[in-house]
């Protein structure tokens, strides 16, 4: 979903053949060669012309209508040449040649319809990718005192869009990040994700307290969803080396520190956005080199043969090396190998590394957090 978009899309019928057209052409030519060899080996009257009708039909399954017509014309010409070897021309051979010509026309029409549908689907996929990219802006590689990287892993080769969301911003109250997951898929989910991110990008600069940010986001979600729709989310703030997390029904982030992996469970559970969550912040003191992984529940649900991907067990090995972008690339590779390339849900990943306080100024711990952070 985050792949680049070609500014000059391929024009059907121009340039080299597509892989599908090449495959259809190759299979059809191989079939024509086989039938011709059978006719030549038979040596008597033409008995196999009717089999040539399958060549344009086979090409129609994969190739463009131009390829189909080319194959059909060739098949008809070969059929005529074998039919003319009969003296006199038999009625059966004439009917067979006519059948090949009619099949060519039908197969060409079918291929044209299929090609138009494929082009429409490709255009819709391109527009969906544009919509997804408009929602999920690139973040990183540095946001305030944090090195940040994000990654979106689609569950399908068609890149079906979903409602996973993330953002990271350097605000007057420190670096703030959000990761969330909208219930459902498709354009409705993207619409709600865009509403959440649009609201977050505004209130993150306006509200000093993360709990007030949650309240504003909850109102925005409640105004735009049905009774059964919701958004899970985790909000993170780094300020002066203090990490504050509020969680609204979302998988807890993982803190990676000196080889250990620590799930940052909330002090008390809270429902997702849309259900008026009352959150209690969790506060941690960061050390230079600490990394924090934020993820959506597609990672927790990834499994093969009923066995879930061991995220916590392998997190440090996969995420603790190189840059944060390197870590996410390693995690994605290991995850795709684990599930043999078949994911049940999209996955959004954000990995941050605390590089230490700003040298020019050290931000104060928010007043409402005083006494909750570890010394």
pTM over 0.75: no
pLDDT bracket for residue 132 (50, 70, 90)? low
| Structural domain count, the chain | 2
In a domain, 158, yes or no: yes
203 and 124 in a single domain? The answer is no
56 and 157 in a single domain? The answer is no
Q: What is the pLDDT of residue 10?
A: 38
Rounded to the nearest 10 degrees, what angle do helices 54-62 and 65-83 cross at? 170
- Tell me if 235 sits within 8 A of 249, measured CB to CB: no
123 and 199 in a single domain? The answer is no
Q: Which of 240, 229, 253 is nearest to 178 (CA)?
A: 253
Whole-number Å distance between alpha carbons of 194 and 302: 25
71 and 142 in a single domain? The answer is no
In a domain, 1, yes or no: no
180 and 292 in a single domain? The answer is yes
Question: What does residue 262 show for φ and ψ, rounded to 5 degrees?
Answer: -120, 115
Whole-number Å distance between alpha carbons of 313 and 37: 61
| Residue 143 DSSP one-character state | E
In a domain, 35, yes or no: yes
pLDDT bracket for residue 17 (50, 70, 90)? low
Whole-number Å distance between alpha carbons of 86 and 96: 13
Q: What is the pLDDT of residue 250?
A: 96
- Give per-residue pLDDT as tens, 273-323: 999 999 999 999 999 999 999 999 999 888 888 899 999 999 999 999 999
Last residue of a domain, one of 80, 100, 128: 128
In a domain, 364, yes or no: no
Question: What does residue 2 show for φ and ψ, rounded to 5 degrees?
Answer: -105, 15
295 and 229 in a single domain? The answer is yes
Q: What is the pLDDT of residue 85?
A: 78
Other Cβ atoms closer than 10 A to 23:
16
Q: Looking at the DSSP assignment, which residues form a beta bridge with residue 185?
A: 162
120 and 180 in a single domain? The answer is no
203 and 180 in a single domain? The answer is yes
44 and 141 in a single domain? The answer is no
CATH of the domain at 216: 3.60.40.10
189 and 123 in a single domain? The answer is no
In a domain, 208, yes or no: yes
Q: Looking at the DSSP assignment, which residues form a beta bridge with residue 308?
A: 303
In a domain, 217, yes or no: yes
Q: What is the pLDDT of residue 311?
A: 93
Handedness of CA 25, 30, 36, 39 (dihedral sign): negative
| Residue 223 DSSP one-character state | T
What is the pLDDT averaged over residues 8-28? 62
Q: What is the pLDDT of residue 270?
A: 96
Q: Which of 153, 332, 349 is nearest to 254 (CA)?
A: 349
219 and 108 in a single domain? The answer is no
Last residue of a domain, one of 128, 152, 186: 128
pLDDT bracket for residue 240 (50, 70, 90)? very high
In a domain, 271, yes or no: yes
Last residue of a domain, one of 128, 153, 175: 128
In a domain, 175, yes or no: yes
Q: What is the pLDDT of residue 38?
A: 82
Q: Residue 196 above 50 pLDDT?
A: yes
More confident residue, 111 or 169: 169
Q: Residue 122 above 90 pLDDT?
A: no
Whole-number Å distance between alpha carbons of 372 and 375: 9
Tell me what the pLDDT averaged over the chain comes to: 84
pLDDT bracket for residue 161 (50, 70, 90)? low
Q: Which of 109, 111, 103, 105 is nearest to 53 (CA)?
A: 103
- Give per-residue pLDDT as tens, 31-54: 888 888 887 877 767 777 888 888
58 and 167 in a single domain? The answer is no
For 149, the domain range is 136-354
Lowest mean pLDDT among 85-94, 101-110, 360-369: 360-369
What SS3 state is found at 200?
A: helix
pLDDT bracket for residue 11 (50, 70, 90)? very low
Q: What is the pLDDT of residue 235?
A: 97
Q: Tell me: cis bond preceding 141? Omega within 30 of 0 counts.
A: yes
- Give per-residue pLDDT as tens, 261-271: 999 999 999 99
Other Cβ atoms closer than 10 A to 334:
15
């Amino acid at each position: 979903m985050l792949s680049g978009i070609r500014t000059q899309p391929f024009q059907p019928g121009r340039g080299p053949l597509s892989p599908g057209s090449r495959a259809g052409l190759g299979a059809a030519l191989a079939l024509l060669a086989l039938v011709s060899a059978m006719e030549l080996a038979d040596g008597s009257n033409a008995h196999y012309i009717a089999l040539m009708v399958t060549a344009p039909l086979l090409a129609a399954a994969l190739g463009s209508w131009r390829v189909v017509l080319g194959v059909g014309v060739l098949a008809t010409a070969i059929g005529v040449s074998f039919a003319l070897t009969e003296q006199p021309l038999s009625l059966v051979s004439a009917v067979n040649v006519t059948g090949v010509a009619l099949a060519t026309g039908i197969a060409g029409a079918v291929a044209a319809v299929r090609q138009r549908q494929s082009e429409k689907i490709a255009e819709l996929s391109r527009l969906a990718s544009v919509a997804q990219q408009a929602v999920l802006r690139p973040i990183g590689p540095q946001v305030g005192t944090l090195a940040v990287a994000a990654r979106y892993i689609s569950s399908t080769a068609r890149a079906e869009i979903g409602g996973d969301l993330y953002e990271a911003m350097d605000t007057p109250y420190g670096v703030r990040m959000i990761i969330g997951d909208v219930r459902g898929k498709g354009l409705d989910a993207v619409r709600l994700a865009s509403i959440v991110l649009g609201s977050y990008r505004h209130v993150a600069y306006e509200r000093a307290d993360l709990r007030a940010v949650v309240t504003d986001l909850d109102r925005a979600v409640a105004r735009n969803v049905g009774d059964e729709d919701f958004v899970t989310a985790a909000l993170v703030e780094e300020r002066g080396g203090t990490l504050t997390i509020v969680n609204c029904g979302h998988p807890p982030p993982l803190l990676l520190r000196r080889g250990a992996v620590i799930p940052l469970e909330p002090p008390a559970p809270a429902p997702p956005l849309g259900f008026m969550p009352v959150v209690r912040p969790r506060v941690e003191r960061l050390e230079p080199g600490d990394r924090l992984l934020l993820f959506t529940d597609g990672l927790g649900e990834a499994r093969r043969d009923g066995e879930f991907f061991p995220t916590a067990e392998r997190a440090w090995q996969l995420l603790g090396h190189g840059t944060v972008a390197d870590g996410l690339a390693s995690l994605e590779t290991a995850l795709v190998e684990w599930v043999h390339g078949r994911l049940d849900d999209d996955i959004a990943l954000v990995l941050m590394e605390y590089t230490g306080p700003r040298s020019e100024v050290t931000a104060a711990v928010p007043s409402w957090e005083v006494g909750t952070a570890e010394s």
